[in-house]
Amino acid sequence: MGYKYSNEEELKQMIQVMIIEDDPMVRDINTKFLQTVSGFELVKAVSNLTQAKNFMNNHKPDLILLDIYLPKENGIDFLKWLRAEELNVDVILITADKTISKIQEAFRYGARDYLIKPFTLERFESSLLKFKDRYYNFKIANEMQQNELDKYILSSKDLTINENDGNSDLTKGLNKYTYDTIWKQVARIGENYITAEELGENLGIARVTCRKYLEYMNKEGKVHMLIEYGKVGRPQHKYKIKHN
């Protein structure tokens, strides 16, 4: 799975994001997380729904990162307002609310994902990468076959690698979508070595995340790792596909 736009086209068509979060510290963290994933541009960060609605009177972001708990306001009400106004914007909930009723309500009103605080950068990246893949492919496709569509509507259970999928030695917490994205890029590069940093720049994924998955693939025997020792600095780890 992978979107088909070139890097030049992506830069011309950045996915515009608005963050709605009342806590300044959390808003800053979400902003910094967003900046680690290429293809996304923060166009507005607000602390309440009034500011959000005022902004949307003249602008329409592609994606909103929305908190539920806001002072005297509720993010789900804003989600309902978006649907009532028939505004074509996608929403990812970022909230501490773990109640099933709120989770169900969010998905019933079209939320694309639901991140429960505190979440990891890796989980945040995975959500945005999946959204970006769907966003670009839906832009260029006139129609889709069922097997293609299934890539975008599979549940999160299908996206998580765990010990019950037939491989007992798999590490818990690895995300199948991120794993597949990194593996396809490594396979595409073929015989050439690449570092986790270079891979991260190509895919818009944090270097530490790429390093984690590459090391796991090395453990699986799917990639070969080369350690280069320079005259100064730390040794550099490079990876390439391993042909059996």
Residues 127-184 pLDDT 10s? 998 898 888 888 777 777 777 777 666 544 444 444 344 343 445 567 777 888 888 8
Are 198 and 205 in contact by the 8 Å Cβ rule? The answer is no
* Topology of domain 159-241, CATH: Arc Repressor Mutant, subunit A (1.10.10)
Per-position b or e across 213-239, b if 16+ CB within 10 A of its CB: bbbbbeeeebbeeeeeeeeeeeeebbb
The percent of residues in the chain predicted with pLDDT above 90, rounded, is 34
Average pLDDT over residues 193-210: 84
Query: Could you state, in order of their start, the residue ranges of all structural domains in the chain?
Result: 7-139, 159-241
What's the token pair of residue 69?
Answer: 């708990």
Mean residue pLDDT across the chain: 82
Residues 16-63 pLDDT 10s? 999 999 999 999 999 999 998 888 999 999 999 999 999 999 899 999
The domain 7-139 having CATH identifier 3.30.420.280: the answer here is no
Average pLDDT over residues 205-221: 86
For residue 18, the cross-strand partners are: 44, 64
User: Global pTM?
Assistant: 0.65
Q: Is the pLDDT of residue 187 over 60?
A: yes
CA distance 44 to 28: 12
